Structure 1
Amino acid sequence: RTAGATKTSLDGTALKELTAMLGMQVPPQKIECYDISHTQGDVAVGSRVVFINGRPQPQLYRKFNIRTVEGVDDYASLEEVLERRFRHVWMDSNGSMVDEDDPWSMPDLIVIDGGVGQLGAAVKGMLKASILPRVPSVGTALVAAEQDGEIVEEVIGEVESFKYSRSVDVCSLAKNHEEVFQYGRSSAVNDSPDSAALLLLRSLRDESHRFALKAHRQRRSKLAGLRP
């Protein structure tokens, strides 16, 4: 078996495991991962990396210079980035979406670098752009929705209305114990930190972190060159 065939087989296994772990109906083809990089809150940059069928697609990577946040606040930065990203999905105020071949087309899965707090912040930004997190239809205990309900109610009060919306699966990967958290579920959803699915999520997380750090350093160097 060639190396390429082996890699394709591993990608397929990882995507199948990920589908089962997150209670998705079909394997996610397009996965986006987000991270924030800054120096003590200064010159913060958000990153988006995209994997399609388990493979990185650098031509679809994007960086977001944080505009609305001052100081160290990764939650607010993630909220801003996810809102800005998903506003690109909509072509007009009638709910028409960009074509599938557009760089801003809908993903099948969103991955956030972080834990429950970062996940909640990302969901808040998504809601502001009329994108709803899909609640998994699996036979495990769901969150009582008390906290999530507060988030939704708070955000809906800030936007004009949900005249149109789409939903997408969203999860986060926490560094400390390599735990996967999913919106709508009360505890980590992974049993092992070394499964094929986790290796794929870690690849996404590490690539997003690398790209965010690179973008942050480039922006910091550019600004330093402009200072007298």
Structure 2
Amino acid sequence: MTASAARPGRDEALPDRRKCLQRLSVLSGALLFHEHSRAGGQLEEPLADSVRSALSSAIANSAPPVPTFATTEARLSYLRWLSAMSDRLYSRVKDFPTRVELLQTIWYESRRAGLDTSMVLGLIQVESAFRKFAVSSVGARGYMQIMPFWTRVIGDGDPGKLFHMQTNLRFGCVILRHYLDRERGDLFMALGRYNGSRGKPPYPNAVFAAQKKWFFTG
């Protein structure tokens, strides 16, 4: 076979190689979704007085919340949950006091906002992988990737406060509760609104998948 006859075979193979590379690129993007998803699509909008009050109090009060319980059994149930979640979170947050304070605050703020605690844990896993000082390419900050404009709308405009554990978790839970109310209880749509991808499945599905790690039946 001459060189001129051999060229078409090599040329014909190029489109197939391009297709393979394109498929690998799409697959890689899907696999990296969990690490790169951010809540940078939160939009500035009018807030109800109750929402504004809840966010303002988070900025004013820097003390971690202290759970209270009506019965001994309720306290024991919480302690069983805390022990189980601490074991699951160890690989991401090694320091024991930090891990306990983080879980205690997540438990308190999620219940305060009327949210499922396992879902909030799943959202934090997707948003920041439990990194306190995570910052996205558009400036979203902290555990729940809060956009800096929220501190301007609610507080003194200092975005550094979004790295404070309770402030970040209070903001994240209250904002998600706000979106859930706006979507009339539709969690799929509320999560999309939180991420700026309302109506699209990748982000809500990622949160729901991550949530499975944090279910507690004890």
**TM-score normalized by the length of structure 1:** 0.30
Work out which of the two has the higher radius of gyration on C-alpha atoms and give 1 or 2. 2
Larger % of strand: which?
Answer: 1
**TM-score normalized by the length of structure 2:** 0.31
Larger % of helix: which?
Answer: 2
